[in-house]
Amino acid sequence: MKFFICDKLEKFTKKEYNCFGKWYFYYDDKVSLYEGSDFIVLYCGYLIEGDIEEVAANFSFHDANGNFFAVKLTKTDYEISLDYFQNHKIFVADKYGIEITNYMPFMACEKDDIKLKRYPTTEREFGVDENTTYYGHINSFIPNFDYIQDVKDSFGVDAWDIDELLEHIHQCMLQHSNVIKSKYKNRFISLSEGIDSALQSQYFYDDPQFIYGISLEGDHWRRQTIKNFPNVTYDIIPTHGKETKQTTLDYFVDPSSRGQTILPTMKQISDCGQKPDIVMYGVNADEAFVKELNPHMFMVGLNNFFERDFRETLRQDAINRKEQYGSTYSTSSDTEKWIDIFFRRFVNGEKDYENFQYNFYTLLTPKFYTRAISANNDVMSGSLYNDRRIFHEIMRLPLDWLIEHGMDAPFLKRLLKDKFNYDFTTPYKDAVNGVYDGVWDNHFEATHTHCLEQNL
């Protein structure tokens, strides 16, 4: 699903090209072309609801709900659109003429353009710094969504009855999965021992499931999960040590990626035999269901920010709830250590309530792991939790309810039990103490040579 657009004909020396106005462009057979009266649109993906060709005709993608990228070209200008959850990356540069693509090695790069050789670690990627690349003139396009404000606007609305919300989420996930099944025949479902993927995989029960561990830690719970599905591939793929360098060199393609921890899934996709039409990766359930320990501690903190015993209240609440799934999922067994890390990051010296609140909202914005897969493996990648109809809805429940129940993942557990008769048992996730230095240390080496080649 690659495309490349530029305003310099001399860029094309290996591939045939098309022309519109001042633009020269290439697109493969996974990318669609809409031709308007005085414009064209290159696009790829699907809408959960609605007709994507109609949206292309009006170029009204900004408010659409789905998984897509689109570029509109007039004779002299361009406009880019990505879906809300940024399941894709588009790169833009203007140093060697205007260049727009979703495959960075197509872009012009020289050795003098290299400005970085390692990215700082980050969980969220909606800021300018997180969308730079190793090359000073190339950046990822940032769509105009205000993720912080959207989270802020959701809290305190109290818009749902619990049972009605549960059914709403199920119907949305069921309908979304049916759209995917109707459009993509060969589906790759990423499975783990965690509750997020356990639920998503139920909607694709008969499809091939792929699970991995970075070590034998958690092996028991992965094998328990495997028993619940008929077609599962299980691999151990280390992310540190000597063999990890070669794995990184062999399987990393995207030079912009901050998703190095997803390398095991990238390897499984490349090795699975027949290239999938779509990869389902269960990202953003943590945020949508408000179930991780950090957001929980922020909610308790917001309720007690001005109290004299603020820190002790936070600590005691975390200890009292250390058996809830969101706590064990985040900390494995060392709750005290996690509390200390939270205090150092967010509490020590913090006297500004609004800043504390802002940091809380940040933790509930979408993660863009699926775009790391789509950019690296040249494949559609999505999540049933990447749905604008459900992502902010649990946040609308009363704060007291979220504090009391959110971390124990009641919606996910009930959906599994009520809709699929699935009893979830995994107490924690495997990657809490994962070491990924073997990937980070070799990412630049794995990707930069191809970027310096003439690939068009």
pLDDT digits (tens, 9 = 90+) for 225-246: 999 999 999 999 998 888 899 9
pLDDT of res. 259: 83
Q: Do 238 and 302 reside in the same domain of the chain?
A: no
| Six token digits for residue 223 | 């094998």
Domains in the chain, number: 3
95 within a domain of the structure (yes/no): yes
Residues 27 and 154 in one domain: no
Would residue 229 count as lying in a domain? yes
If DSSP codes are grouped into helix, strand and coil, which group holds residue 415? helix
CATH code assigned at 263: 3.40.50.620
pLDDT in tens, 348-373: 988 999 999 999 999 999 999 999 99
Torsion of CA 215, 218, 221, 225, to 10 degrees: -40
Task: Say if 450 falls within a structural domain.
Answer: no
Please check whether residues 154 and 142 belong to one and the same domain. no
> pLDDT value at position 335?
77
Instruction: Please tell me whether residues 319 and 233 are part of one structural domain.
Output: no
Burial 435-449 (b: 16+ CB within 10 A, else e): ebebbbebbbebbbe
What backbone torsions phi and psi does residue 450 show, to the nearest 5 degrees? -65, -35
- Shared domain check, 396 and 252: yes
Q: What is the pLDDT of residue 327?
A: 80
Same domain, 246 and 271: yes
Residue 449 maps to a domain:
no
Contacts of 351 (CB under 8 A, 6+ apart): none
Last residue of a domain, one of 103, 126, 146: 146
Structure tokens at 354: 């609004």
pLDDT on residue 432: 47
Q: Which pLDDT value is given to residue 444?
A: 95
Specify the pLDDT at position 23.
Answer: 98
* C-beta neighbour count of 53 within 10 angstroms: 12
Cβ neighbours of 375 (radius 10 Å) = 26
pLDDT in tens, 162-174: 999 999 999 999 9
Q: Which of 93, 121, 146 is the last residue of a domain?
A: 146
User: 372 and 232 in one domain?
Assistant: yes
Torsion sign, CA atoms 315, 316, 317, 321: positive
pLDDT, tens digit (0-9, with 9 covering 90-100), for 414-451: 999 999 999 998 886 545 457 888 898 999 999 999 99
Burial class (CB in 10 A: 0-12, 13-18, 19+), 87: buried
pLDDT digits (tens, 9 = 90+) for 120-152: 888 889 889 999 999 999 999 999 999 999 999
pLDDT band at 322 (very low <50, low <70, confident <90, very high): confident
One domain, residues 156 and 137: no
Domain co-membership, 326 together with 434:
no
Q: Considering only 71-75, 161-165, 238-242, 405-409, which range has the smallest mean pLDDT? A: 238-242
CA angle 445, 447, 451 (to 5 degrees): 120
One domain for residues 233 and 154: yes
Does 43 reside within a domain?
yes
Question: Does the model's pTM come out above 0.85?
Answer: yes
* Angstrom distance (rounded) from CA 447 to CA 444: 5
Both 114 and 175 in a single domain? Answer: no
Q: What is the mean pLDDT of residues 319-343?
A: 80
Range of the domain at 295: 291-362
> How high does pLDDT run on average in the chain?
93
pLDDT of residue 333: 63
120: number of Cβ within 10 Å: 8
* CATH number (domain holding residue 52): 3.60.20.10
157 & 168 share domain: yes
